[in-house]
Amino acid sequence: MKFAELALFLEKLEKTPSRLSITEILSDLFKKSSSDEVNKTTYLVLGQLAPAYEGIVFNMADKMVIKAIAKSYGKENKDVVGLYKKLGDLGGVAEKLAYSVQRIADSQLTVSGVYDVLLEIANDSGEDSVERKVEKLAKLFSSLDSLSVRFVARIPLGKLRLGFSDKTVLDGISWMLKGDKSLKTKLEKAYQVLPDVGNLVKKVKMQGIEKATEGVKPIVGAPVLPMLAQRIKSPKEMIAKMGQVAVEPKFDGLRLQLHYSPTSLNPPVGRAGLRGTRVFTRNLSECSWMFPELAQIGDCVNGDEVILDCEAVGLDEETKQLANFQSTMTRRRKHEIGDTLKKVGITFFVFDILSLNGKNLMEETYLERRKVLERTLKEGKNFKIVKNELTLDPKKIDELYRKEFKAGYEGIIVKKANAPYVPGRTGWRWVKMKQGETEESKLADTIDAVVMGYNSGKGKRSGFGVGQFLVGVASGTKFVTTSKVGTGLTDEQFKQLNQKLKNLRTKEQPKEYEAHKNYTPDYWVEPSLVVEIAADEITKSPTHTAGLALRFPRLINFRDDKTPNEATTLKELRELFEMQRTS
């Protein structure tokens, strides 16, 4: 397929607010794409070059794309900047300039051709790579028609702005085959084990739905979507729904999936890391560079290759006490790892095993997986197996909850003893009990919300660039508002928030957002940043589009380890509302 034809599909997707219509457009696109090219087409419509866990990034800021546009169309940088200020979109700038110089309308470049050039740009590194990237991108612009340029200019910046994710692509695959979403469950099950929609749609086109989705098992080096906990406030209800359970302490750490294979795993191309080990956060980001301690994992594993689920928790080297989430997350500062190691060590508390020596353990029960885990992992300085206790007694659950909370943990995780490992938050297999932030709090848990926009602030906060920010929760493919937040932040966090949000600003309200006019912020931002919010309670709201509002909301953490797809859902918010009413 010529890229110019793909650009027409991209234009339709950009103009379409309806998820069903987007699904039908994707279905048509997949039908017209050849089997050997459909994976690349899929990545490009998502504005990427590979699944998220591959970590392929362009490392191109606005300034570099501006230089490429100016170079391609014979303009000065300042001219491009001036037009950018008017349009607010470098894709629109590139399209306008391409059209003004009557760039060829019949580009012969194929989807694969454009993809390959973009991949080459992303993988270029080292001395003078900035200049080479700009040169290659400018040359690519010169080979494309004006509409194609609009979308290609946005991809290196992560701003394709089409308003859908992998889940909608799964709908599109089902629609391609059946004309409805009846195959989505089967596709989702395969995707949860190997979250690569490009690979999945290619396999479906080449092999058919049954062969593409049956027998998918974990692969060392590719993360499985994590299993998540539901909420039940009553231990009695837990036992009624789950039967025999295992109770584990809940850590305030960073959820990680450890992949170990000394013979097959190398660090990601062009990036730091450890040979033999890959580490993924719950949003599928590879982060082995954060944990030099993993160099010792081979001494603790009985096996040739293994996939472990764990919580990385910081240990304050002075007090020898477990550190909080924010202290653990200081590991994300790449240039300060040496200093951070001296202040905050890491212990990996392992609680599950998904695969051993190529054998899929996800279908085994919790109790069977636990036996394998205890045979496989030898505890050491940095590796511990999470303690657990089996029970059928609601009183025992309550007793353990109080004991663990008193010991400094967040609460407990209660796990169904005979349940398999099922990615996502479905069924009553895992549930959590957490303490509210204050004595007055009626809310049983914190909320993971998406920042939708912000106001500049007045007085002292005007110097920070942020006064209040608007947050929402997920409702299907949309995000609905539930609160404005302006408390719980230190001066440093206000400044940090401004840095995070200014690169996400957009002139238009993203089409995924549903917001009442009363809550129109000074700046809308693309759905990207997830924050953990505590509140005293949830109340009904006639104006917030969630229909519910948070009373006295306050920021607890920036959740850089989560994506908007992992935000609290409206269904979960309603469940929390009902739980507080019955407490």
User: Tens digits of per-residue pLDDT, 347-386?
Assistant: 999 999 999 999 999 999 999 999 999 999 999 889 999 9
- Find the range with the poorest average confidence among 70-79, 234-243, 429-438, 460-469: 429-438
pLDDT band, residue 341 (cuts 50/70/90): low
Whether residue 325 contacts residue 557, with contact meaning beta carbons closer than 8 Å, is answered with: yes
Whether residue 534 contacts residue 437, with contact meaning beta carbons closer than 8 Å, is answered with: yes
Residue 110 tokens read as 């194929």
pLDDT at residue 418 tops 90:
yes
**How far apart are alpha carbons 492 and 479 in whole angstroms?**
28
Model pTM?
Answer: 0.84
pLDDT of residue 440: 44
Q: Are strands 468-475 and 254-260 parallel, antiparallel or unpaired?
A: unpaired
* pLDDT tens, residue by residue, 441-454: 456 678 999 999 99
Q: What is the mean pLDDT of residues 152-174?
A: 91
% the chain with pLDDT above 70 = 91
Residue matched to tokens 């002075």: 318
According to CATH, the superfamily of the domain at 230-434 is DNA ligase/mRNA capping enzyme (3.30.470.30)
Q: Are strands 277-281 and 254-260 parallel, antiparallel or unpaired?
A: antiparallel
**How far apart are alpha carbons 511 and 507 in whole angstroms?**
12
**How far apart are alpha carbons 30 and 98 in whole angstroms?**
28
pLDDT at residue 270 tops 90:
no
Helix (H, G, I), strand (E, B) or coil at 169: helix
In the structure, how many helices (H) and strands (E) does the chain have? 20, 21
Q: What share of the chain is helix, strand, coil (3-state, %, to 5)?
A: 45, 20, 35
Residue 127 tokens read as 């001395």
At CA 562, angle to CA 547 and CA 20, rounded to 5? Answer: 55
The residues annotated with a catalytic role in the active site are 250
Question: Which DSSP string do the residues of 469-497 spell out, in sequence order?
Answer: EEEEEEETTEEEEEEEE--S--HHHHHHH
Residue matched to tokens 């837990």: 238
Q: Is the dihedral of CA 527, 532, 535, 538 positive or negative?
A: positive
**H or E element: which one contains 483?**
strand 478-485
* pLDDT tens, residue by residue, 525-556: 999 999 999 888 899 999 999 999 999 899 98
Q: 106, 45, 99: which is closest to 69 by C-alpha?
A: 99
DSSP classification of residue 279: E
Average pLDDT, the chain: 89
Residue 84, CA distances (Å) to 39, 203, 261, 276, 322 in order: 32, 41, 48, 45, 48
Range 472-485 burial, b when 16+ CB lie within 10 A, else e: bbbbebbbbbbbbb
Q: Is the dihedral of CA 14, 120, 142, 29 positive or negative?
A: negative
Burial of 491 (0-12, 13-18, 19+ CB in 10 A): exposed
Beta bridge pairs of residue 479: 474, 513
Full 3-state SS string of 353-397: EEEECCEECCCCCHHHHHHHHHHHECCCCCEEECCCEEECCHHHH
**How far apart are alpha carbons 420 and 67 in whole angstroms?**
53
pLDDT at residue 434 tops 90:
no
Between 433 and 201, the more confident residue is 201
Q: If you classify domain 447-582 with CATH, what class do you get?
A: mainly beta
Residue 300 tokens read as 């603790």
Residue matched to tokens 């409805």: 180
Q: 424, 314, 437, 317: which is closest to 362 by C-alpha?
A: 424
pLDDT of residue 326: 61
pLDDT band, residue 438 (cuts 50/70/90): very low
Would you kindly state where each structural domain of the chain is located, as residue ranges?
230-434, 447-582
Residue matched to tokens 């099922």: 422
